[in-house]
């Protein structure tokens, strides 16, 4: 019962954090996002597979990530200096703009067996190692459950793999503890497979 109460309080706390973020203006965000275009593309569809696609991602999730970069909860040598100069309204506006854009289709680049393993894990998890099905939080099509669980469909496989490895090692811990626990139980081969499968989801 105590564990259940703690879990419920954690979810409520996260929900309150999201709801406290400023409302964004997409039109204003388009202008403010000019500095983002060099890495993430003018419409949030980055060309570099190591940099995430932001287009179509939930606005509150994006704003939270920017806030975490600014406060140091999520450390990144490139993003932290950029976020330091943003106000809460700037973050909300930029997030609203990218959320309003359409995600470009992605595709798996791994062999068929790797993608098949990724599909099994994404849809069914791994009962032996205690890994839950990815779709239970990110949805059957990878569109996420906003604002807590982000969109993963069409995301660059290289970026997704890098982030899951960061959760696994403890290097990244700014999101809910669910990802840290799940990634810790996954092998590197499983992480690569899921990343490839998610890239091809639409």
| pLDDT, tens digit, 9 for 90 and up, residues 124-167 | 999 999 999 999 999 999 999 999 999 999 999 999 999 999 99
CATH superfamily for domain 112-199:
Cytochrome c-like domain (1.10.760.10)
pLDDT band for 175, please (50, 70, 90 cuts): confident
- Which among 43, 48, 74 is positioned nearest to 175, based on CA atoms? 74
What are the angstrom distances between the C-alpha of 24 and each of 53, 152, 202? 19, 22, 26
Q: Is the pLDDT of residue 16 over 50?
A: no
Residue 1's contacts (CB-CB under 8 Å, 6 or more residues apart) are none
pLDDT on residue 20: 52
Neighbours of 195 (CB within 10 A): 26
Q: Is the pLDDT of residue 112 over 70?
A: yes
pLDDT digits (tens, 9 = 90+) for 48-106: 999 999 999 999 999 999 999 999 999 999 999 999 999 999 999 999 999 999 999 99
Strand partners, 145: 149
Mean pLDDT of 4-23: 47
Tell me how far apart the alpha carbons of residues 21 and 70 are, in angstroms, rounded to a whole number: 14
pLDDT band for 176, please (50, 70, 90 cuts): confident
The full set of domain ranges for the chain reads 22-99, 112-199
Mean pLDDT of 14-38: 80
Tokens at 172, concatenated = 């990244």
Question: In which residue are the tokens 């090692």 written?
Answer: 169
pTM of the shown model: 0.88
pLDDT on residue 98: 98
Domains 22-99 and 112-199 share a fold: yes
pLDDT digits (tens, 9 = 90+) for 71-85: 999 999 999 999 999
Give the DSSP letter string of 141-194: TS--BTTTB---TT--HHHHHHHHHHHHHTS--SS-HHHHHHHHHS-HHHHHHH
pLDDT on residue 26: 98
Neighbours of 116 (CB within 10 A): 13
Q: What is the CATH number of domain 22-99?
A: 1.10.760.10
Residues 139/145, Cβ–Cβ less than 8 Å: yes
Q: Is the pLDDT of residue 3 over 80?
A: no
pLDDT on residue 135: 98
Q: Is the pLDDT of residue 184 over 50?
A: yes
């Amino acid at each position: 019962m105590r564990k259940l109460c703690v879990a419920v309080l954690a979810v409520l706390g996260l929900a309150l954090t999201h709801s406290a973020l400023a409302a964004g203006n997409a039109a204003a965000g388009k202008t403010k996002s000019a500095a983002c275009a060099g890495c993430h593309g003018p419409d949030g569809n980055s060309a570099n597979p190591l940099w995430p696609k932001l287009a179509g991602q939930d606005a509150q999730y994006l704003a939270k990530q920017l806030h975490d970069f600014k406060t140091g909860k999520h450390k990144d040598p490139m993003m932290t200096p950029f976020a330091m100069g943003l106000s809460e309204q700037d973050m909300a506006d930029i997030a609203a703009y990218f959320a309003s854009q359409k995600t470009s289709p992605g595709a798996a680049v791994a062999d068929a067996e790797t993608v098949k393993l990724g599909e099994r894990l994404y849809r069914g998890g791994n009962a032996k190692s205690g890994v839950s099905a990815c779709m239970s939080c990110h949805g059957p099509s990878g569109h996420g459950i906003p604002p807590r669980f982000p969109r993963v469909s069409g995301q660059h496989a290289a970026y997704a793999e890098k982030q899951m490895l960061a959760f696994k090692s403890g290097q990244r811990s700014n999101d809910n503890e669910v990802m840290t626990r799940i990634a810790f139980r996954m092998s590197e081969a499983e992480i690569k497979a899921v990343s490839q499968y998610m890239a091809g989801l639409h």
